[in-house]
Amino acid sequence: MLSHERRESLGIVTSRPLTELLACPGPLEQRLGAASQRRDYPAGALLFSQDQECDGLYLLLTGEFTRSAQRREKRLSLGVLHAGGLVELAGVLGDGRHNYSLSAATDAAALVFPMGTLLHAFLEYPPLRMHLLEELGREVSRAYGAVYQPRKTRIRHIEAVSVGYPTSNLS
Do residues 24 and 32 make contact, with C-beta atoms less than 8 angstroms apart? yes
92-140 pLDDT per residue, tens? 999 999 989 999 999 999 999 999 999 999 999 999 999 889 888 887 7
Residue 135's pLDDT is what?
86
The rounded distance, in Å, linking the Cα atoms of 19 and 103 is 25
User: Which are the contacts of 63, defined by CB distance < 8 A and separation ≥ 6?
Assistant: 41, 83, 104, 105, 106, 107, 108, 109
Region of residue 164 (phi > 0: left; psi between -120 and 50: alpha; otherwise: beta): left
Residue 74's pLDDT is what?
86
The rounded distance, in Å, linking the Cα atoms of 5 and 14 is 18
Phi (first) and psi of residue 119, to 5 degrees: -60, -40
Mean pLDDT of 146-160: 57
Residue 8's pLDDT is what?
45
> Beta strands 56-62 and 108-114: pairing type?
antiparallel
Mean pLDDT of 9-17: 49
33-90 pLDDT per residue, tens? 899 999 999 999 999 999 999 999 999 999 999 999 888 888 877 889 999 888 999 9
pTM: 0.71
Do residues 62 and 83 make contact, with C-beta atoms less than 8 angstroms apart? yes
Residue 9's pLDDT is what?
44
The rounded distance, in Å, linking the Cα atoms of 153 and 110 is 36
Q: What is the DSSP letter of 100?
A: S
What is the DSSP annotation of 45-91? -EEE-TTSBP-EEEEEEESEEEEEEEETTEEEEEEEEETT-EE-HHH
